[in-house]
Amino acid sequence: MNLTFKSFGVCCALIVVASTCLAKPAMKPTGPIDVTYKHFEYSPKGLHLFGGVQMTSAQYFVNAGDILVEQATGKTKSMKRATATPLAGQQVSITYKDVEAMKSMKTLADRAVITPEPERPGGARIDLTGNVLVEMNAQGALDGPSKTTLESATILIGDGPDYPQIKGERGHMTLTPQF
């Protein structure tokens, strides 16, 4: 059974509520971030990773063609911002997994920008643009998977039960309830 919501505001609210309900209450750090690459160049301007880059933190996994990491000016984080672009014919993929809460979320987009937000514990935001697709294996009270297409979306990650949060623009959601 598929349910289609025409009102995207309802979709966003539902996603946020569902994410909040499923989130594990324990504190989880976002760093350190492990990166594998085929080629890299590092200078005081930033870190540029080329060709099939994978970026993994305690909360998310990014698979992209190239990632450009801008240097932080502060002391709290080494990464100011990371921009991920895909290889030709592919999309940037970001996977969020919380095994203990039995949930996972995968997002695909043409471009992703990851920005640490140290003002929130473990905080970071991932801005997705271009043919965004969000897939969740469980959708809160509906207890079923969902697929959402969006023009753009922002994922907020951080420590505590309120994260991750998703905010989207102009989308279409398909839910598959299991009850």
Partner 1 sequence: MITLSAAHRWRCGALAASVLFCFTSGSSLAASGVGVTGQGSQVLQPDPKRPGKYLWKLWAREFVIESPSKGVSGTMKGISAVLFQNGAPSATMAAAQAKGNNVQNIIVATGGVVVKSLVEPGTILRADSVTWYQQKNQVVAVGHVYYKNGKSGMTIIPSGALTANTSLKTVSSAGGGHIKLP
Which residues in 65-158 belong to E strands, given as ranges?
A: 66-71, 79-85, 92-98, 103-109, 111-116, 124-136, 146-157
Q: Apex CA 133: angle with CA 51 and CA 144, to 5°?
A: 130
| Least distance in angstroms from the C-beta of 94 to partner 1 | 16
| Least distance in angstroms from the C-beta of 110 to partner 1 | 24
Which region, left, alpha or beta, applies to residue 137 given φ > 0 means left and ψ of -120 to 50 means alpha? Answer: alpha
29 lines the binding site for partner 1 (CB under 8 A): no
40 lines the binding site for partner 1 (CB under 8 A): yes
72 lines the binding site for partner 1 (CB under 8 A): yes
79 lines the binding site for partner 1 (CB under 8 A): yes
Candidates 39, 141, 143, 172: give the one binding partner 1 (CB under 8 A).
39
Determine the Cα–Cα distance for residues 92 and 151; give it in Å rounded to an integer: 14
C-alpha dihedral, 102 to 107 to 112 to 116, nearest 10° = -20
74 lines the binding site for partner 1 (CB under 8 A): no
C-alpha dihedral, 89 to 151 to 95 to 57, nearest 10° = 100
Site for partner 1 in 82-101 (CB under 8 A): none
Residue 157 or 173 with smaller CB distance to partner 1: 157
Residue 78 or 85 with smaller CB distance to partner 1: 78
Residue 25 or 74 with smaller CB distance to partner 1: 74
Candidates 33, 92, 132, 153: give the one binding partner 1 (CB under 8 A).
33
Helical (H) or strand (E) element with 43: strand 39-43
The residues that touch partner 1, with contacts defined as CB under 8 A, are 31-44, 47, 49, 69, 71-72, 78-79
